[in-house]
Amino acid sequence: MTARIIDGKALSKQLREGFKTRVSQLVSQGVQPGLAVILVGDNPASRVYVGNKVKACEECGVRSFHIGLPADAPEAEVLATIARLNADPSVHGILIQLPLPEQVDPRRVLEAISVHKDVDGFHLYNVGGLVVGNTIFPPCTPYGVQLLLDTTGTDVAGKNVVVVGASNIVGKPMALMLLQREATVTVCHAKTRDLAQHTILADILIVAAGKPGLIVAQMVKQGAIVIDVGINRLRDGPNAGKIVGDVDFEGVKEKASWITPVPGGVGPMTVTMLIENTLRSAERALRMRQTDDYQEWEAPLLKGG
Ligand SMILES: Nc1nc2c(c(=O)[nH]1)N[C@@H](CN(C=O)c1ccc(C(=O)N[C@@H](CCC(=O)O)C(=O)O)cc1)CN2
């Protein structure tokens, strides 16, 4: 059996078409959705990702504000930039591209973003919301994976899901989102002994470890759904420069029922869900303006955020 492909590029295209209608509706009510993207330094991969985010904004009619800060920008300058954007009503979403240079503490910076504009979903309030199944902005990559899984028509309730990788931006939130949907979730990480003994039991295998070729066919259950979140640029060998995931695609596709490619699987969905969250934020801002009552849909805690 050869797996069917879960096409993140195609789903992204379809979702972005729908976004254009939502943007028109917002604009007709006087709200132009806006996303601010902060890049500190000039990491080449980060520059590409930020460029993709700005391009996606243009495609969907979202106004983008690209703020570039030098690699040696002090943390105070980053915090001051965020404070300015928090107060700017034309900005509905703020994201700071990760990783950050070492002089800038990512936690301090992420906590400085208003929870109302935290479209990456990395603020502690949103992270905590995942634990109780009620977050304002789900983090973009796991949110995208959830939609990709939905396209297979699979109900995750009761399924064995194994998440390989326990990062704060993918593995941990992914596990919480699937637990909320009543999956039986196992999280594996760098210290996990005998990874294959876990992965072989997975009805759904989600891999976000950042290690090319980590998952090979013998580690995968026949008929499993395999989602590859890894994005690795090969440095050496005949394929140097090529982008690959964490899964040996050619081998595993002969065993899985569904599989995401890299590129063209999860990556494009990360950017698409960022636009979804930005639109959601602009729609919330409009509702707040119309009713002047935050408590109608959010906890009072948010009032000062
Ligand atoms: N503030 C954030 N920083 C980072 C995040 C994030 O969600 N928020 N995630 C990653 C990087 N990332 C988005 O920022 C990201 C990575 C890759 C892709 C993507 O579309 N990949 C393509 C291949 C790209 C290529 O050819 O180079 C694909 O998989 O098809 C989108 C977003 C870390 N930082």
In this predicted structure, what is the pLDDT of residue 295?
46
Ligand 1 centre to CA of 96 (Å) is 13
In this predicted structure, what is the pLDDT of residue 303?
36
Pocket test residue of 50, 231, 278 for ligand 1, highest count of atoms within 8 A of CB: 231
Ligand 1 centre to CA of 86 (Å) is 24
Give 241: exposed, middle or buried? Use CB within 10 Å, 0-12, 13-18, 19+: exposed
- Ligand 1 is surrounded, with C-beta below 6 A, by 48-49, 52, 95-98, 120, 140-141, 169, 231, 243, 262-264, 267-268, 270-271
42 is known as an active-site residue: no
Catalytic residue among 7, 14, 32, 53: 53
Catalytic residue among 117, 118, 120, 203: 120
Determine if residue 121 is labeled as part of a ligand binding site.
no
In this predicted structure, what is the pLDDT of residue 148?
98
> pLDDT tens per residue, the chain (305 residues)?
799 999 999 999 999 999 999 999 999 999 999 999 999 999 999 999 999 999 999 999 999 999 999 999 999 999 999 999 999 999 999 999 999 999 999 999 999 999 999 999 999 999 999 999 989 999 999 999 999 999 999 999 999 999 999 999 999 999 999 999 999 999 999 999 999 999 999 999 999 999 999 999 999 999 999 999 999 999 999 999 999 999 999 999 999 999 999 999 999 999 999 999 999 999 999 998 887 655 444 443 443 33
Determine if residue 165 is labeled as part of a ligand binding site.
yes
Contacts of 283 (CB under 8 A, 6+ apart): 22, 26
Determine if residue 230 is labeled as part of a ligand binding site.
no
215 DSSP 8-state letter: B
Ligand 1 centre to CA of 297 (Å) is 31
55 is known as an active-site residue: no
Alpha-carbon gap, residue 300 to 110, rounded angstroms = 21
Assigned token pair, 175: 């596990």
- Residue 120 CA: nearest ligand 1 atom is 8
Determine if residue 231 is labeled as part of a ligand binding site.
yes
Residues present in the chain in total = 305
The three-state DSSP-derived secondary structure of 236-281 is CCCCCCCEECCECHHHHCCCCCEECCCCCCHHHHHHHHHHHHHHHH
- Residue 266 CA: nearest ligand 1 atom is 29
Which residue is associated with the tokens 């905590």?
128
Alpha-carbon gap, residue 67 to 58, rounded angstroms = 16
246 is known as an active-site residue: no
Counting other chains too, the contacts that 190-198 makes at CB distance below 8 Å and 24 or more residues apart are 195/164, 195/219, 198/162
Pocket test residue of 49, 117, 123, 227 for ligand 1, highest count of atoms within 8 A of CB: 49
Is the whole model's pTM more than 0.80, yes or no? yes
Domains recognised in the chain with CATH numbers: 26-115 (3.40.50.10860), 140-267 (3.40.50.720)
